[in-house]
Amino acid sequence: MTKTALAIAAHPDDIEFLMAGTLLLLSQAGYAIHYLNLASGCCGSMTLPREEIASVRRGEAQAACRTIGAVYHESICDDLEIFYTKPLLARVGAIVRDVAPEILLTHSPSDYMEDHMNASRLAVSAAFTRGMPNFPVNPPRPPVPQAVTVYHAQPYQNRDPLGNRVYPDLYVDTRQVIDRKVQMLACHASQKNWLDQTQGVDSYLQALRDLDAEVGRMSGVFEYAEGWRRHLHAGFCNPEDDPLVQALPSAQIRLRRSAGQEQEG
């Protein structure tokens, strides 16, 4: 199996908030890492026109990507246009075949906004069709036999759209890379003003630390953490495959505590 990991998220800065720590640790473990935001970020400004803010955010995402040595992949649609359609699936499918990841990181299937959930659906289906010669992708790419294990990040604020708390199946310790996550997020300078105006976030960078700290508390062990749930193996990999757990030292991984944990909080 190739030691390659691909993160697929909806918008510029989603990877930074939810996935970058794990991506960094995989890089340290010898994985080639890839970075894909499906949407351009064109709605991320109260003042700049769509084309201008999309260009700004593309540059910010590329800068963030460079800080961790990841391969950058171009966005394929605009904000609030991530729909589960055949044309978009064909585009994502081509990227998955090009990268042929062993590990695919993506959004939670249930999250606070449709772009996140549809990005998750597209990522999962693109991985599922990676070896199907009769499913055409755009641009055309040959099918790949590489087994892939899909992991879903935590939903934003660790809750589903109805406010129910969501617990991960495994926790990744991000304490040693939290400053690099913040450095990545700091590349997205356009978004601090946007979030201040639209969502009342007083500190863009502190929000990242707060989210990782909350997942860390959920783990019962780590100061900062990212949480993951492994997608069912059928059609993707072998039942026993769990490359994320196998790639990282045991000190950086904690499996979910007790079955009764869901009742907490």
Residue owning tokens 């649609």: 77
Question: Could you report the per-residue pLDDT of 120-155, keeping only the tens digit for each?
Answer: 999 999 999 999 999 999 999 999 999 999 999 999
For range 230-242, the mean pLDDT: 98
Question: Could you report the per-residue pLDDT of 4-40, keeping only the tens digit for each?
Answer: 999 999 999 999 999 999 999 999 999 999 999 999 9
Kindly report the average pLDDT of the chain as a whole number.
93
Question: Could you report the per-residue pLDDT of 31-47, keeping only the tens digit for each?
Answer: 999 999 999 999 998 88
Q: Identify which of 1, 33, 3 has the alpha carbon closest to the alpha carbon of residue 247.
A: 3
Instruction: Give the number of domains in the chain.
Output: 1
H/E segment holding residue 5: strand 4-9
Residue 158: other Cβ atoms inside 10 A: 18
- Note the pLDDT of residue 197: 66
Domain that holds residue 205: 4-263
Task: Indicate whether 96 pLDDT > 80.
Answer: yes
- Note the pLDDT of residue 198: 65
Q: Residue 260 in 3-state DSSP? A: helix
For range 173-182, the mean pLDDT: 97
Contact 100, 126 (CB under 8 A): no
Task: Indicate whether 207 pLDDT > 70.
Answer: yes
CATH of the domain at 235: 3.40.50.10320
- Note the pLDDT of residue 200: 62
Dist. CA 145–CA 128, nearest whole Å = 11
% the chain with pLDDT above 70: 93
Task: Indicate whether 263 pLDDT > 80.
Answer: no
